[in-house]
Amino acid sequence: MTLYAILEDLPSYKFYKQFDEGDSSTYNSFCKEEVTISSNEELVELCSKILKNLKLIDEKKEDTFYNKYCDDINYWIGEQLKESHGVTDAQLNNSSTYISLYRALINIKQKKKINYTCSIYFNDVTADEKRRRKNLYDYYENYKNFEHIFIQKEKKCSKEHYEYLDKCVTLYNETKQFCTPGKTYVSKKCPSFFNYSEIYYPKKDLSVIPCEVEVQSETSVRLVSETEMSAKEDVEKSSLSDVPVSGDKSDTHSTTEPSPSLSNTLMTTSIPWTPIGSLIRNRLLKGGEKINELSDNVTGELWEDTLDPFAIDSDNKGYQLAYQSL
Structure confidence by residue, pLDDT tens digits, 244-288: 544 444 444 444 444 444 344 434 444 444 444 444 444 444 444
Contact indicator for 306, 100 with CB cutoff of 8 Å: no
**Mean pLDDT computed over 210-229:** 60
**pLDDT above 70 for 295:** no
The answer as to whether 58 is a domain residue is no
- 168 pLDDT band, cuts 50/70/90, is very high
The answer as to whether 49 is a domain residue is no
- 143 pLDDT band, cuts 50/70/90, is very high
Residues 197 and 77: their CA atoms lie apart, in Å, by: 26
Beta-strand runs (E) in 5-93: none
Residues 94 and 164: their CA atoms lie apart, in Å, by: 33
**Mean pLDDT computed over 115-144:** 88
Amino acid letter, residue 233: E
Q: What is the pTM of this model?
A: 0.65
CA angle 212, 213, 216 (to 5 degrees): 125
By residue range, what is the domain housing residue 255? 219-303
Domain count, the chain: 1
The CB density around residue 74, as the number of other CB atoms within 10 Å, is 21
Mean pLDDT lowest for which of 16-20, 30-34, 124-128?
124-128
**Mean pLDDT computed over 127-134:** 92
- 216 pLDDT band, cuts 50/70/90, is low
- 316 pLDDT band, cuts 50/70/90, is very low
**pLDDT above 70 for 131:** yes
Structure confidence by residue, pLDDT tens digits, 21-78: 999 999 999 999 999 999 999 999 999 999 999 999 999 988 989 989 999 999 999 9
The answer as to whether 270 is a domain residue is yes
Angle between helices 260-270 and 289-303 (to 10 degrees): 110
The answer as to whether 109 is a domain residue is no
Contact indicator for 254, 246 with CB cutoff of 8 Å: yes
Residues 214 and 232: their CA atoms lie apart, in Å, by: 28
Predicted confidence at residue 112, as pLDDT, reads 86
Residues 105 and 284: their CA atoms lie apart, in Å, by: 85
Residues 26 and 45: their CA atoms lie apart, in Å, by: 11
Q: What is the dihedral sign for C-alpha 190, 192, 198, 200?
A: negative
Predicted confidence at residue 1, as pLDDT, reads 77
The CB density around residue 114, as the number of other CB atoms within 10 Å, is 20
The answer as to whether 320 is a domain residue is no
Amino acid letter, residue 222: R
Predicted confidence at residue 234, as pLDDT, reads 58
The answer as to whether 325 is a domain residue is no
More confident residue, 258 or 119: 119
The answer as to whether 283 is a domain residue is yes
What's the chain's average pLDDT?
A: 75
Closest CA to 228 of 236, 239, 217, 240: 236
The CB density around residue 212, as the number of other CB atoms within 10 Å, is 13
Predicted confidence at residue 275, as pLDDT, reads 45
Predicted confidence at residue 165, as pLDDT, reads 96
The answer as to whether 123 is a domain residue is no
More confident residue, 287 or 125: 125
